[in-house]
Amino acid sequence: MKRLASWVLIAALTCSPLWADAGPDPNPDPNHVANIQKRVADSIRHHRIVVVETFDHRQLQGSVSEAQPDRFVLSNHGRSTTLTYAEVDKVTWSTHVPREVWALVGAAGIAAALYGLVRLLGGLNG
């Protein structure tokens, strides 16, 4: 019994590093960091609400209020979180077209249809 307990203890101590999560890479890929920086800059330029996923499986939502060369600040309802580009896995946002754009497209279409109908019926001299 003592022999079995010692083998279990040895196996647990030597194999535990294999089971442990390595965590975020201390030397992230420079291309990945550059891509995250570009996505953050685009979200600032277009005033987008973003969803940020980190390598430690956190998911945060908000708008980017400030961006620096090595980190950015994500704000949501008065709370701010500072993240480095190296700890971010993904930055995504919704690609839905705003209602205002659909309203403008619809109004332009209706105006064009009415103009065409009036021209067809000969209502405008021209």
pLDDT tens column, 23-66: 555 667 889 999 999 999 999 998 899 999 999 999 999 999 99
Distance CA 39, CA 92 (A): 8
Distance CA 123, CA 114 (A): 11
Given this model, what pLDDT does residue 102 score?
A: 84
Distance CA 25, CA 54 (A): 12
0.75 exceeded by pTM: no
Given this model, what pLDDT does residue 122 score?
A: 80
- Answer yes or no: is pLDDT of 7 > 70: no
Given this model, what pLDDT does residue 120 score?
A: 85
- Answer yes or no: is pLDDT of 10 > 90: no
